[in-house]
């Protein structure tokens, strides 16, 4: 949920404006238990291993040598929650590729993870599967995830509901917030 994926950035996600108020409401209910991740591209394509170099050769304008650093920041309504919300920077799709996140979660010892963000079929997918691999209960907030691909988003929500029923739950934000209040 960074400016990088807003209408101002090179990777605009059309639904971002629609889900941002939902993500903000969820995070503001428990900012002390909220962890935001920011996708941080490399300075240059050659700074990354393997096929990431090809990826960033294609998206060279998104490497930090060309990108406005302000685009890496969280959207203002979310940045206002930090602190107490925490920020973890990541260089890969999965937030669990960064050792700081597993360490932070181990210290907090949550009952489960409520996942929101962009993009459903890229970073959300990778992070959710990383959480499953570590044994976390995962709840994907259907109305607080978004993608630039309607087809990819819909396919992932269906996959989560049909193939990962023992490890991944899909719920609307209203249901989650109602349960927090009861």
For residue 79, what is the domain's CATH number? Answer: 3.40.50.850
* Residue 130 confidence (pLDDT) above 70: yes
* Residue 182 confidence (pLDDT) above 80: no
* Residue 151 confidence (pLDDT) above 70: yes
CB 94 within 8 A of CB 124: no
Q: What are 49-90's pLDDT values in tens digits?
A: 999 999 999 999 999 999 999 999 999 999 999 999 999 999
pLDDT at res. 150: 92
- CA-CA distance, 51 to 88, in Å (whole number)? 23
Q: Which domain holds residue 85?
A: 3-181
- CA-CA distance, 157 to 140, in Å (whole number)? 9
- CA-CA distance, 119 to 106, in Å (whole number)? 25
User: Average pLDDT, stretch 158-182?
Assistant: 92
Q: How confident is the model at residue 181 (pLDDT cuts 50, 70, 90)?
A: confident
* Residue 114 confidence (pLDDT) above 70: yes
pTM of the model: 0.93
- CA-CA distance, 59 to 117, in Å (whole number)? 21
Q: How many domains does the chain have?
A: 1
């Amino acid at each position: 949920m960074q400016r990088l994926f807003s209408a101002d950035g090179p990777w605009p996600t059309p639904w971002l404006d629609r889900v941002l108020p939902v993500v903000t409401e969820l995070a503001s209910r428990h900012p002390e238990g909220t962890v935001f991740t920011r996708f941080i591209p490399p300075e240059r394509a050659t700074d990354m291993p393997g096929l990431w170099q090809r990826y960033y050769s294609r998206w060279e304008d998104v490497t930090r040598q060309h990108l406005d650093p302000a685009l890496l920041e969280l959207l203002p309504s979310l940045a206002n929650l930090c602190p107490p919300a925490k920020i973890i920077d990541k260089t890969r799709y999965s937030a669990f590729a960064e050792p700081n996140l597993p360490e932070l979660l181990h210290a907090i010892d949550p009952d489960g993870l409520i996942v929101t963000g962009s993009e459903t079929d890229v970073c959300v997918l990778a992070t959710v599967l990383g959480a499953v691999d570590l044994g976390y209960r995962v709840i994907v907030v259907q109305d607080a995830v978004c993608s630039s691909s309607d087809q990819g988003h819909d396919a992932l929500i269906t996959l989560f509901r049909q193939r990962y029923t023992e490890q991944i739950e899909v719920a609307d934000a209203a249901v989650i917030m109602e349960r927090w209040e009861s």
